[in-house]
Structure 1
Amino acid sequence: MKDLTDIARRSYQAYVDKDRAAIEAVIAEDFHFTSPLDNRIDRRTYFERCWPGSETISDFRFVRLVEDGNKVFVTYEGTATTGRRFRNTEVLTMRDGKIVEAEVYFGWNVPHEAPAGGFIDQPRKGGDS
């Protein structure tokens, strides 16, 4: 059995390297992607909508990379080519050595925009705590 965290690492490295063949090799044909902006889009739509973002990525630093059954939980700090930093968490579901599902949770800038112990005052959306 392949190390699932290695498969996850290779998918992020493909973004850094701008290597579409490398990411296609680890994403299943029946892959689906969900984020706050995307609701279970298919593989084709993912490559049309998300892959162009690889041009703006210069690095990923893993904060957490945890395998649990057929899932890998990943928290990373990414760096854009502009120098802007951000933190995301993703849950990757694997099958037969490929990623079949990605759930992405994002919204943090690094450093955090709110002061330590504080918050940014703005209206909450339904379901936010």
Structure 2
Amino acid sequence: MYEGRELLVRNLFAAYLANDRQRVSDALADDFRFTSPFDDDLDKAAYFERCWRDTGWIARHEIERVFVIGDEAFVTYRCLATDSRSFRNTEFFTFAGGKVRRIEVYFGAAFQDGRFVPQPR
């Protein structure tokens, strides 16, 4: 059961990287909610309107870890941009009915040339 949820998460990252909006939409529950430091409890329509953009700036995602417990998962990944910038985030997923019901994003460190880049205070 947990393997299926981990696969769903990995497939969602792959669909996002491929800029496959339909595949992403299909993975999200109808009552999907999204929260990040910039977005508070967006529904599925608002998520696509506000957060979806061309992913051509992303070279790849490096998923570092996925922990699945019951209907929840934590995912930590590094995102590498085509201009060599990178950052690490953690996302908290909630599942229902074989789909992603909720994602909460926690922004992490930025990296440049393999080194941590301090953020302005």
Report the TM range for the smaller structure's normalisation.
0.7 to 0.9
Question: What TM-score do the two structures reach when normalised by structure 2?
Answer: 0.88
Who is 2:95 aligned against? 94
Q: CA-atom RMSD, angstroms?
A: 1.7
Who is 1:127 aligned against? none
SS at match of 1:82: coil
Dislocated runs of 4+, deviation >6 Å: none
**What 5-or-longer segments of structure 1 have no aligned partner?**
115-119, 123-129
CA contact (8 A) 2:90 2:108 kept: no
- In structure 2, do the counterparts of structure 1 residues 5 and 94 end up closer, same or farther at CA, with 3 Å as the change threshold? same
Query: What is the 5 A alignment of 1:21-32?
Result: 21-32=22-33
Compute the displacement of 1:32 (Å).
Answer: 0.4
Aligned length: 117
In the aligned structure 1, how far is the partner of 2:120 from the partner of 2:32?
A: 37
Compute the displacement of 1:39 (Å).
Answer: 0.6
Who is 1:48 aligned against? 49
Larger radius of gyration: 1
Question: What TM-score do the two structures reach when normalised by structure 1?
Answer: 0.83
**What 5-or-longer segments of structure 2 have no aligned partner?**
none
CA contact (8 A) 1:31 1:99 kept: yes
